[in-house]
Structure 1
Amino acid sequence: EKLPKAEGGSEPLPEGLFYLMLLGDLPTQEDTDHLSSVWQRRSHVPNHVFNTIDALPLSTHPMTMFVVGVMALQTESHFSKAYSEGINKKDYWNPIYDDAMDLIARLPRIAAYVYRRKYKNNEHIQPNGLLDWAGNLAHMMGYNDESFRELMRLYMTIHADHEGGNVSAHTTHLVGSALSDPYLSYA
């Protein structure tokens, strides 16, 4: 109820919930819009990721394609590079933060790419820089009506917090504790 919404929308923007979970403060509309623009700037997915997904047989399960795409993104890891260069342990948080922000920003591109490859004759739709994070996912999937964008905003907001027992969240914590970068941890 208190989280910012898209203009004319009724569902909270996932960016606002992310802000709240990260900082513990309710975001303003300006905070949420800023985070949307940050994720938009970080959302570029290198071509080798799409080429890697395309190398898989079309019969591959979509979650396998998605995980392979995330793993292919690992080549872009700030933490992996900094760790191999001997980063001081007290500074780990900075490249891990950058990796997490990049990964969150790029996930809709990969998810939509897999969806369009698997179910829409490999006809892909480029992102729309004017849309929010979840709205852009809906757009890239090929659903441009506002009601579907609202559904995606609600769905992403509901599923944002997997704390306290979710198996995938537990696995991410466990793998991350072994000094793996966020890409390896998430995949």
Structure 2
Amino acid sequence: MEGENKEYLKSALEQWCSVIEQNTQIEPGYYDNYKVKRGLRNSDGTGVLAGLTNVGQVHGYIMYEDEMIPDDGKLSYRGVDVTDIVMACEKENRFGYEEVCYLLLFGKLPTQKELDDFKALVGAMRPLPFGFREDMIMKTPSNDIMNKLARSVLSMYSYDNNPDSTDLYNIIRQSILLFSRVPTMVAYAYQAKAHYFDGKSLYIHNPQPELSMAENFLYMIRPDNQYTDLEAKVLDLAMILHAEHGGGNNSAFTTRVVSSTGSDTYSAIAAAIGSLKGPKHGGANRKVMAMIEDFKANVDDMNDRDAVANHIAKLLDKDGFDHSGLIYGMGHAIYTKSDPRTVQLKKKAEELADVTGNMKEFKLYSLIEELTPEIFAEKKGKKHMCANVDLYSGFVYKCLNIPPELYTPMFAISRMAGWCAHRIEEVMYGGRIIRPAYKSVCGAGDYVPIKDRA
């Protein structure tokens, strides 16, 4: 009987799919006819202006007389160039992610005492509430850590004595709780996944309050708690570069959309995590890694420029890999000449590649970055294209021996402070529920009595 039910369900679902395809079509030409800004983007590729922000700024081009002029990319947090932050941390040989969190959340660079106090607070808040680890993570493990993270963040609502208040004091309290505890949640979700789904030994390490965010995460996910200073500093760099990217990216906008309804912090951040999970957003670096494996399988000599170029051309023609016609890690909605995050991360990627024996693979990435814009211009007519941060972020994580299933969760950990800053701004100054318009193109129809329907 069970087998019959499965067959009936399969048949019914296939039939319903056909019904939906026949009755819910939208003619592609309608989008132009009604001047629909698909993806909330203008016809010239720029984003539709939906709000104002002090949190972050992404610069990639100049508009002059309605024409987009390519420019070097620049990313700033609260007006401070992220490249300057990175260079200062390197010069002083220190970790910088906590400083970035403070800057994004409070709108100013901290004094040394303010930073020390903030780091001590974040470190002290890393442990999860009593019973949370066992009840919310270990008893209900998930094969997808992003899914588990979203559920865990939502579960924090039940452990909060004042979950719904949207006053500034409460949102700041919840924000600090989130970016203190989310790395702990991810580490435990990974250990549960590795044990219950992959058959590996279960390692549960308590968070260490005195460590930086990057050090603590490596400490918690590794069986022996060991990591090098280079590994921790490179992970810290990746977290700095992923902390914020303006209000227009999908997950930050999702945070604002949910926040504009007056909903609670945990619901808004869980929605952002769901957005980031998508392969067109935070999951793109895993797509890059899969694409690289396709290059390895189909190109005999990774140093052969012509062979690599030919494979790039094939992929652009939707001939191979996932048949999408995309070169993952190449191109960006805003950056034209360069992605400043890529510039910084590539330097460390090369250093890591040298130390870990992955220089041959690094050269393949560099070759893809070099060749794709020219080939893309020949085939698609787009003159300017640069590598985005996803091209090298997965490779960096690989060199750090971070498992692929943690690539996107690492992005979520890094972006937590940026999301919380956007939520605060939206609640304080947004003022209206975000509600774009959709035009119905269904047309009128008559109600037909059920006995007369075909």
Cα distance in 1 for partners of 2:213, 2:161 equals: 22
* TM-score (normalizing by structure 2): 0.36
**Using the alignment, how far apart are the partners of 1:75 and 1:162 within structure 2?**
30
Distance 1:27 1:94 in 2: 19
Counterpart for residue 62 of structure 1: 145
> RMSD across aligned C-alpha pairs, in angstroms?
2.4
The CA deviation at 1:103 is: 0.9
Q: AA paired with 1:108?
A: P
* Cα deviation, residue 5, structure 1: 4.3
Task: Provide the rounded CA distance (Å) in 2 between the counterparts of 1:166 and 1:2.
Answer: 22
Answer yes or no: is 1:37 the counterpart of 2:112. no
2: distance between equivalents of 1:168 and 1:64?
15
Query: Unmatched 5+ residue regions in structure 2?
Result: 1-83, 195-199, 271-454
SS of 1:80's partner is: coil
**CA drift at 1:33:** 2.2
Question: In the alignment, what sits opposite 2:101?
Answer: 18
Residues 113 and 124 of structure 1 are in contact (CA less than 8 Å); yes or no, is this contact kept in structure 2? yes
Partner of 2:216: 136
Matches for 1:37-186 after TM superposition, within 5 Å: 37-50=120-133, 51-57=135-141, 60-77=143-160, 79-80=162-163, 83=165, 92-119=167-194, 121-142=201-222, 143-186=226-269
Higher percent of residues as strand: 2
1:9 aligns with 2:89: no
Q: Is the 8 A contact 2:128 2:181 kept in 1?
A: yes
2:141–2:148 Cα contact (<8 Å) kept: no
The structure with the greater share of residues assigned to helix is: 1
- Cα distance change on mapping 1:125 and 1:167 into 2, 3 Å: same
Q: Secondary structure at the match of 1:160?
A: coil
Higher Cα radius of gyration: 2
Instruction: Report the CA distance between 1:79 and its aligned residue.
Output: 4.3
Q: Deviations over 1:132-172 (max 9, x none)?
A: 12221121112522222112211211111132321111111
CA–CA distance in structure 2, aligned partners of residues 78 and 176 of structure 1: 20
68-77 vs 151-160, which deviates more? 68-77
Aligned 8 A contact 2:148 2:189 in 1? yes
Which one is further off, 174-183 or 101-110?
174-183
Give me the whole-angstrom Cα distance separating, in 1, the residues matched to 2:161 and 2:235: 29
Looking at structure 1, the residues matched to 96 and 185 of structure 2 have their Cα atoms a distance apart, in angstroms, of 20
Residues 99 and 183 (structure 1 numbering): CA distance in 2 closer, same or farther, change over 3 Å?
A: same
Partner Cα separation in structure 2 for residue 57 and residue 186 of structure 1: 20
Give the Cα–Cα distance (whole angstroms) in 2 for the partners of residues 103 and 78 of structure 1: 15
Provide the C-alpha distance between the structure 1 equivalents of 2:227 and 2:257, rounded to a whole number of angstroms: 38
Shift of 1:78: 5.2
Are 2:145 and 2:189, in contact at CA under 8 Å, matched by a contact in 1?
yes
